[in-house]
Amino acid sequence: MLTTLAQYYDLPLRCFTFSNIQLVPTMEEFKQILDLPLEGKVPYKHVEQHVSMPMLARLMKIHHAELESRIVSRKGAKGFPQKFLEAYLRQLAHKKDWETFMDVLAMVIYGVLLFSNIEYFVDYVAIDVFIASKTRSENPVTAILADVFGTLDLFSERKKGKMLCCLPMLYVWLTSRVGERVSGVSCPVEKTLQHGLEVKGSQD
């Protein structure tokens, strides 16, 4: 469905153009879908340097050397395989370290659902946005919307390939515009977070 929608993306106008209407994702809609209020928070600001490995190791409560040994490169990007992070989540659940569990789960969500670049892989870009949100209270909504437009631009220019980035948000946005309103559409990100909370509750 999203691939079909992308064929109607008007690259110069940055919107979806149909016979008599134009649709465009907005910051207000994505704010509502993600339930991330913009008021009182600064937008995410990209910095040239990636988050330091010692800082990430402290956040994840894993030895610096162990974490560094898990870094891999895929298609020119560095990061962590999704399998490694999921296995570590199971360890944290077993230990009942729920604070760290929720941080690592959120990092996986950023890498797999919000800023997906390579399948089954959480790269440094997604980690940087998560850390900015976690430690500096920077709001990722603008970055997510920019990534949506960047993905659509690239897909439109190439006329081929596989769309990965921000698909859950784009799907919820599309279904809210052509069918139910946003309030009537369940968000995959919200479901994933809820599942994490349910796992925590069942372990307590």
Whole-model pTM: value is 0.73
In three-state secondary structure terms, 77 is strand
Q: Are 167 and 116 in contact (CB under 8 A)?
A: yes
Q: Where are the domains of the chain?
A: 27-203
- Looking up tokens 């600001």, which residue turns up? 45
Phi, psi of 25 (to 5 degrees): -65, 140
Q: Residue 182: what pLDDT?
A: 44
Q: Residue 90: what pLDDT?
A: 96
User: Which amino acid is present at 141?
Assistant: V
Q: Residue 108: what pLDDT?
A: 94
Measure the CA–CA gap between 134 and 172, rounded to whole angstroms. Answer: 24
Could you list the mean pLDDT of each consecutive 10-residue stretch along the chain, which spans 204 residues? 76 83 87 84 81 91 93 92 96 96 94 86 92 90 86 76 69 74 50 52 56
Q: Are 134 and 59 in contact (CB under 8 A)?
A: yes
Measure the CA–CA gap between 101 and 198, rounded to whole angstroms. Answer: 12
Q: Residue 11: what pLDDT?
A: 84
Measure the CA–CA gap between 10 and 149, rounded to whole angstroms. Answer: 11
Q: Residue 204: what pLDDT?
A: 56
